[in-house]
A and B are shown apart, each in its own frame.
Chain A
Amino acid sequence: MIYFDNAATTKKKPKVVYDAVNEYLCEIGVSPGRGSYSIGIQASRLLYKTRCLVGNYFGLSVPEKVVFTKNSTEAINLFLYGFLEKGDHVIISCYEHNAVLRPIHSLKKDGIIDYSVISRNDLMLSPEEVYRKYAKPNTKAIVMTLASNLTGRIVYNAELFRVFRDKGITTFLDASQGAGVIDIDMGEGNIDCLAFTGHKDLLAIPGVGGLCFNKDIELKPIIQGGTGIHGDLYVNPSSFPERYEAGTLNMPAIWSLNASVNYLKAHKKEIIIKERQLIEYFLERIAEVENIIIYDYDFERVPVCSFNIAGMSSDSVVKLLDEKGICVRGGIHCAVLAHKSLGTVSTGAVRVSFGLFNSPEEIDKVISILKGSK
Chain B
Amino acid sequence: MWFVFFSTSDVFKAEELLIEADINCKIVPTPVQDKAYCGVCVETENEVAGSILSGLEYKLIK
Contact = CB atoms under 8 A, between A and B. Distances in A.
Contacts of A33: 8, 39
Contacts of B40: 36, 41, 44
Top 10 A-B pairs, shortest CB-CB distance: A36-B29, A48-B12, A229-B39, A239-B7, A64-B9, A231-B38, A36-B40, A239-B6, A41-B27, A45-B12
Contact of A44 (B12, B35, B37): B12
Contact of B7 (A45, A232, A242): A242
Given A36-B39, A36-B40, A229-B39, A48 B29 contact: no
Contacts of A41: 27, 40
A228 B39 contact: yes
Contacts of B27: 41, 45
A241 B39 contact: no
A301 interface: no
B28 A36 contact: yes
A240 interface: yes
Interface in A219-245: 228-232, 237, 239-242
A51 interface: yes
A221 to B, nearest CB: 15
A241 B38 contact: no
Contacts, number: 49
Interface in B1-27: 6-9, 11-13, 15, 27
Interface in A240-262: 240-242
Interface string A56-68: 0000000010000
B27 to A, nearest CB: 5
Contacts of B28: 36
Given A48-B9, A229-B39, A239-B7, 16 more contacts: A33-B8, A36-B30, A36-B39, A41-B27, A41-B40, A44-B12, A44-B40, A45-B27, A48-B12, A48-B13, A229-B7, A230-B39, A231-B37, A237-B6, A239-B8, A240-B7
24 contacts: A32-B8, A33-B8, A36-B28, A36-B29, A36-B38, A36-B40, A41-B40, A44-B11, A44-B12, A44-B40, A45-B15, A48-B8, A51-B9, A64-B13, A228-B39, A229-B8, A229-B38, A232-B35, A239-B7, A239-B8, A240-B7, A241-B7, A241-B9, A242-B7
Assign chain A's interface to a size class.
Answer: 20 to 34
A36 B28 CA distance: 7
A87 B27 CA distance: 46
Interface in A41-55: 41, 44-45, 48-49, 51
Contacts of A231: 37-38
Contacts of B38: 36, 228-229, 231
Contacts of A242: 7-8
A239 B35 CA distance: 18
Contacts of A239: 6-8
Contacts of B11: 44
A45 B38 CA distance: 16
Nearest to B6: A239
Contacts of B12: 44-45, 48-49
Nearest to B13: A64
A183 B24 CA distance: 38
